[in-house]
Amino acid sequence: MLAVLNSHEMLQIMTSGPYNYSYIFKYIIIGDMGVGKSCLLHQFTDKKFMADCPHTIGVEFGTRIIEVAGQKIKLQIWDTAGQERFRAVTRSYYRGAAGALMVYDITRRSTYNHLSSWLTDTRNLTNPSTVIFLIGNKSDLDGQRDVTYEEAKQFADENGLMFVEASAKTGQNVEEAFLETAKKIYQSIQDGRLDLNAAESGVQHKPASPGRPLAAPPAARDNCSC
């Protein structure tokens, strides 16, 4: 067994460096292949629409610093692969997410039908305080709509999810989805519902006094060449 630092410990130490933000929130974007998860992320981080986004392998990352209630928050977004074959791999990444953006494609009913399965994974693999936001993507393609707003809204309400229809192409509601999630998480922190000290919270509070982060202690091993 490897004696590597627990990832959270490691991240905690590493990120206690001099940054101009107070919190780090971990987001995870999930949903069927081709619903536009990576495009939503790009729209949010780069304000651009990537027309032909390649399939995501495993997980890709994006970051953006936002401000909620005067606090600078770094969003560390994990954009997972939608392909079924990566399902086992991506399940490893849910842990410690403070927010989960669950995406379906309003023009493809099957992606909507799979939501309950995604929701089950999310509920099982994250903690109860994780904020789940349902996004019906491709709202610009209203003519090809396969899922009504009302239907999805009802599903969201029944499951206690936040919900918007958005378009990664036009940028409509993209910002809102990410920011509203952050606000909800921040609210949870304020209310004390979210325990910052819990490793699974997905939120890290940056200490006010930046100190020199420690080096990651090397993994204990005998076969090191050096």
Partner 1 sequence: MPSSDSEDFESADEGSPETDKKVRKKRTSSSHYSDSNSQETNTGDKVTAKDNSQKVNVEPNVEAKTDGWDDFDIDCPVENEKLTKVKETKKLTKEADKPQSTGWDDFDDWGNDDATATTAVTTEKTQTDKSAADIKELTDRLASATSKNSGWGWGWGVDSLLSTASAGITTLTSQVSQGISTVLETGIGAPDPEELARINAKTTENTEQKSSSEHKSIEPSVVQEKEQTSPNEGSFPFGSLFSGVTKFVETTGTKVIAGGLDTLETIGKKTMEVLQDGDPGLAKKRAMLGLDPGEKPVLSQILREAKAKADEEDKIREEKREAKEVHYENLFDDFEGLVHLEALEMLSKQVNMRIEERLRAAEPEKKQDIKETMQQVVELCEIPEDEEDDDEAPEHQSKPDALHDRLQTATQDLGLKLQFQPIVKQYTDVLAWLSSNSNLNEKAVYKRAVSSLAQATALAVEIYHKTAEMLLVKTRRSTADEADAMTQMTVVLTKHVGELATLFTANMNSIETDNKDQVNTYITNIFLESGNSSTYIQNAFQLTLPILQIGAV
Residues that bind partner 1 (CB under 8 A): 1-2, 4, 7, 10-11, 14-15, 17-19, 57-59, 61, 63, 76, 78, 85-86, 88-89, 91-93, 95, 210, 212-219, 221, 223-226
Angle between helices 37-46 and 174-191 (to 10 degrees): 80
User: Smaller CB distance to partner 1: residue 125 or 132?
Assistant: 125
Nearer to partner 1, 95 or 123 (CB): 95
Residue 209 beta carbon to partner 1: minimum distance, rounded to whole angstroms: 12
Structure tokens at 46: 């780069």
What is residue 105's three-state secondary structure?
strand
Q: How far is the CB of 125 from partner 1 (least distance, A)?
A: 11
Nearer to partner 1, 157 or 211 (CB): 211
Nearer to partner 1, 72 or 95 (CB): 95
Q: Based on CB atoms, which residue is closest to partner 1, 79 or 165?
A: 79
The Cα 105–Cα 9 span in angstroms is 37
The C-alpha atoms of residue 155 and residue 86 are separated, in whole angstroms, by 26
To 10 degrees, the CA torsion angle through 90, 80, 137, 126? 50
| Closest to 22 measured CA to CA, from 207, 218, 167, 212 | 207
Shortest Cβ 108–partner 1 spacing (Å)? 23
Strand partners, 133: 101, 162
Least distance in angstroms from the C-beta of 6 to partner 1? 8
Residue type, 75: L
Q: How far is the CB of 139 from partner 1 (least distance, A)?
A: 30
